[in-house]
Structure 1
Amino acid sequence: MYGKYLETSTGCVVGGAGPAGMGLLFNAVRTGTIAELAQYGLIIVDASATPGIGRLGEYQITANSVGDVFLDCLRDPAMAEVFAPLQASPAYWRIRDQAQEAPLLSQVGELLLEASQLVLDHIVARYSVQLWSETLITEVFHDRDEYHIWVEHRGQKQCIRSHALVLNLGGRQDPHNLLNGLAAQGLTLPPARAIHSADSLLRLTPRALRATFATTVAQGGSFSVIGGSHSAFSMLENIAVALEPLGLAQVNLIHRSSIRLFYESVEQARANGYAFDPVADVCPISGRVNRSGGLRYRALAVGREVLERGVVGGTSVRARLLQTDGSDVEQMRAASEVLRTAAVVMQCTGYQPLLPQLRRMDGTAIELRQVTGGLDSDPSGCPCDQGGRRLHGLHLFGLGSGLGVDPLLGSEPSFSGRIYGVWQFHHDASRVVIDAVLQRLADLASPPATVVHAHLELIRGWPERSSGSDWAEAAS
């Protein structure tokens, strides 16, 4: 296909070493299954020069979990040797010192990056796992029991043939997805209206937000946030705090479903006077109210302030809430007018997965079927195409993909989205993926080592394997 190339065969490829991909690797080390995965051959492919965290640490918001949740991903006795150097890490102690508070995601990112690098170094040195950094997955072909994964490193291409592919390359916010969602509610945006992704805006400092929107505020332009989740209320607060000094007086929040709040227990929710369904809104495993769909910690505080007082956080900026589920004709009419005249529209309606081109061996494209909040996949993250056929051996559970509500994962029955979260990536979500991959490799009797075949001519310039940051040796 590409002319001269190298071809490598292995048991499993982990595509993407961000929070989800690293969650699987953390869990494999913790449970001892890393040795089994490595026995079949394991290659980790990541586009970054420093794999381990993706873009998590870039967000200028607080986490929706307390610090202890992230520490729980590190404290297993089986990981003590690997994580011993963290005892001297300022990043570790910053999170530990606020274990019962929600830390900034930038601080979480710093800690998890250090921990991830320790895990990667460990599995490369001890289990001969291969780490291919600065490497982009460009195409994936499905061929019966194999996936042909085409990758590019500094302009050079190579094919990896693998029986299993765990693919978590992050998520994106597609404006067409927002427009389609609005259209389903009978709402539209003017054709020329720009849509700002919250994923990008939430990475900006207050100073950068002021530089971006100062002219709009000065001209009296209106701001509208679309969505009702953690990111929507984080966006409300960031915009209000940054732009209030410039004269911003109000932000609109357009949301389809009721705003849901998270509580650790039924008793806590009742003590706060929160109305909820004792069956549909309560997780049967944890007893938490709106465990998956509720606003947490800082977003919860902002949400309660908006619901009770109509202002955003500690500012005087008013928040106008408009629910567009069709139950209130006046709110629907107001939302339509707000969208028609909005100067700034901010999309906070979830993610779609970032994917390479997926094809069958005859070159026809494979389109994955989507549902609310992510992909239509089974409990192990195995997706299906638009025709309903499962792509066995392919597993996605990260941002934009997610896992559906499952009794083993735990969630409130009323939650219809997909389950995400660093803790889930490190525990329940990745556990079922590891089990499914190992079962598949055993069933297919994969060879117990990575076998590398050089085809046609060895491409000069491929990096040799050294530490956990370079490619594996190109040929043997």
Structure 2
Amino acid sequence: MIKAEQAQFQTVIIGGGPAGTGPLVYGGWSGRLAELLDRGVALVEQSSELCVGKLSKYQVTANTAASDFIDFLMPEAAAAVFPKTRGSDVYQTLLNQKSELLPLPEIGKLLKMAGEDLAETFSAYPQSELFLGWSVSKVQQLANGQYQVQLLNAQGENQTIQAKQVLLATGGTPTAYKQTGKRVHELAQQAGAEANPLIMSSEELLTESGLQTADMWLNHYDDPQVVIVGGSHSAFSSAWLLNRLEDSDFEPDDGQIKIVHRAPIKVWYESAEQARQDGYHDFSEQDICASTKNVFYLAGLKGDAKQLYREIAGLDEQNKCDGIELLCHASTEQALSDNRIDWENVALVIFAGGYDFSDIKIENPLGGDISLQGHFTGRYVNEQLMVLDSLGNPIDGLFAAGLGTGFSLTKYGSGESSFKGQEHSVWFCHHDMGESLFKLFVD
């Protein structure tokens, strides 16, 4: 329960995943966490876990080395905040395999443990409070410039707290393609399909329960076809999982899985020379990171997704993949209308098109809704992570971080200049972004 005398805080963080805990983790490994918690921080997380977010649910391999996930534990200062994590077998295992790409559930075990350490640290700072199992129903800007945050738990209890600044780190929700989904059903019906295909997001499919549901659905068809919409890492991860289903009747061949995409597939390589030697040429100078010289440093496929692309594209002559076919068209409509898609037998359609920001209700002092620029453009924040109103003006004291915010990396000067997407890796949350937020909250 909330301590009545602590209903006033300096900062309220809404969301306990990698983005929300980023400034706290940065404070932990830099030895400065006390500076933040002494000021008074309320961290609100609707689940019972911190730091891990949804990572542990995804049944795929990480697309970055294990070192990126354990880097925050390496400095000696981290031992004071993350003692259990630093002394665990999980940490030692990842440390011994730090250059390898490991399964996300294994990474999730470490981050969950770090969250437990962080939760214990909160108890040592009476000015701060951790609210696990609580969600936020609305945030209201007050006339004095502060914010009032209304909390709700699973038992229906309500609480109200106040703060000078609020960080929205509520995570992203898969982008919904309502019109495209309607078009999918139209195409199936026009082809004479007996039933509409099952439609899922890649986020659903990548979980254990989602993969089981897809497998059972595919088994109802004599010649099941799968269409994956999107050319992102999650699209190829989805195809990778479906192509390797264990104990399943679905063994795709002859292009039973179609990946439809609108632009050339972006693949990561350490250098342009390495890419060309591998037979990959779909990049320009703007796609090469100025600092690392990597090709598609931020946007490129890595790990299992990269290897699957190489097998599909014929770059790996030893392991060719005949079960998956790439269909590239200028628009999604053109791709879905490709006559190589057998809509009569399409059983499953996966949408892998990124994330929308899971924003919450924000009111002005009179109780009216505050409209945000992101509602119209998808860009919720400026380079200082301040939330923008509908006119593009930063709202004092209101910040947002994480998937779907539209945050630009231009401030940090990293990555390829052609990059237009979003980058919120765990490493980035614990370092560059976490440091920026930390300094905003303590200075």
Residue 222 (structure 1) aligns with: 225
Matches of 1:436 and 1:165 in 2, distance apart? 11
Letter in 2 for 1:220: D
Partner of 1:150: 150
Query: Are the aligned partners of 2:14 and 2:170 in contact in 1 as well (CA < 8 Å)?
Result: yes
Query: Using the alignment, how far apart are the partners of 1:210 and 1:179 within structure 2?
Result: 20
1:54-69 matched pairs, under 5 angstroms: 54-69=53-68
Determine whether 1:24 maps to 2:23: yes
Deviates most, 368-377 or 250-259: 368-377
Structure 2 counterpart of 1:162: 163
In the TM superposition, what are the counterparts of 1:60-459 in structure 2 within 5 Å?
A: 60-125=59-124, 128-143=127-142, 145-153=145-153, 154-175=155-176, 178-179=177-178, 188-190=183-185, 194-204=198-208, 208-209=212-213, 211-216=215-220, 218-242=221-245, 245-249=249-253, 250-275=256-281, 277-308=283-314, 318-325=323-330, 333-334=337-338, 342-370=346-374, 375-401=379-405, 403-408=407-412, 410-439=414-443
On the 8 A contact 1:61/1:105 being kept in 2, the answer is: yes
| Counterpart secondary structure, 2:285 | coil
- Give the superposition deviation at 1:268: 2.8
TM-score for both structures, normalised by structure 2: 0.86
Structure of higher RCO (CA pairs closer than 8 Å, 6+ residues apart): 1
Moved more, 230-239 or 136-145: 136-145
- Any idea what SS the aligned residue of 1:415 has? coil
> Quick check: 2:64–2:302 contact (8 Å CA) kept in 1?
yes
| Alpha-carbon contact 1:25-1:34 (below 8 Å) kept | yes
1:48 and 1:152 map into 2 onto residues whose CA distance is 12
Which residue identity lines up with residue 223 of structure 1 in the other structure? Answer: V
Q: Distance in 2 between the 1:373 and 1:292 partners?
A: 22
Q: Aligned pairs, how many?
A: 426
Distance in 1 (CA, whole Å) between partners of 2:225 and 2:413 is: 41
SS in 1 for 2:10: strand
TM-score, length-scaled by structure 1? 0.80
Shift in alpha-carbon separation, 1:270–1:235, aligned structure 2, 3 A: same
1:171, CA displacement in angstroms?
A: 1.6
Contact 2:311 2:320 in 1 (8 A): no
**Per-residue deviation, residues 301-354 of structure 1 (Å, max 9, x unmatched):** 11111222799x979652121123259x98574179667974321111111122
Quote the RMSD (CA, aligned, Å). 3.2
Q: Which residue of 1 aligns with 2:190?
A: none
Is the alpha carbon distance of 1:365 and 1:119 closer, same or farther for their aligned partners in structure 2, counting shifts above 3 Å? same
Unaligned 5+ segments in structure 2 are 187-195
Query: What is the CA–CA distance in structure 1 between the aligned matches of 2:424 and 2:225, rounded to whole Å?
Result: 32
Determine if contact 1:262/1:293 at 8 Å carries over to the other structure.
Answer: yes
Amino-acid identity (%):
25
Aligned-partner Cα distance in 2 for 1:408–1:352: 23
1:15 positional shift: 1.1
SS at match of 1:361: coil
Q: Does the 8 A contact of 2:223 with 2:345 survive in 1?
A: no
Distance 1:396 1:325 in 2: 33
Amino acid at match of 2:165: A
